[in-house]
């Protein structure tokens, strides 16, 4: 999907891309531009909590 100038301009004016690595956060306004995720959503957003819980459970 190619974004048009109006969509890009509105996104930049929102201020959201100004504090993001890569200029977008999948959990924010830019989520509307993401077609799909390969893998776990938590890995895309940050720490993979399900995997972390598994690893920590091995030590308890």
Query: In which domain, by residue range, is 23 found?
Result: 5-57
Q: How far apart are CA 28 and CA 3, in angstroms?
A: 17
Residue 13's pLDDT is 94
Q: What is the number of structural domains in the chain?
A: 1
* Mean of per-residue pLDDT scores for the chain: 85
Residue entry with tokens 């004016």: 13
- Would you place residue 14 in the very low, low, confident or very high pLDDT band (cuts 50, 70, 90)? very high
Q: How far apart are CA 44 and CA 24, in angstroms?
A: 12
Q: How far apart are CA 4 and CA 16, in angstroms?
A: 18
pTM over 0.75: no
Q: How far apart are CA 52 and CA 60, in angstroms?
A: 13
């Amino acid at each position: 999907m190619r974004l048009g100038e109006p969509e890009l301009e509105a996104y930049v004016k929102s201020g959201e891309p100004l504090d993001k690595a890569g200029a977008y956060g999948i959990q924010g306004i830019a989520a509307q531009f993401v077609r799909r995720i390969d893998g776990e959503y938590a890995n895309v957003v940050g720490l993979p909590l399900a995997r972390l819980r598994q690893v920590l459970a091995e030590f308890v």
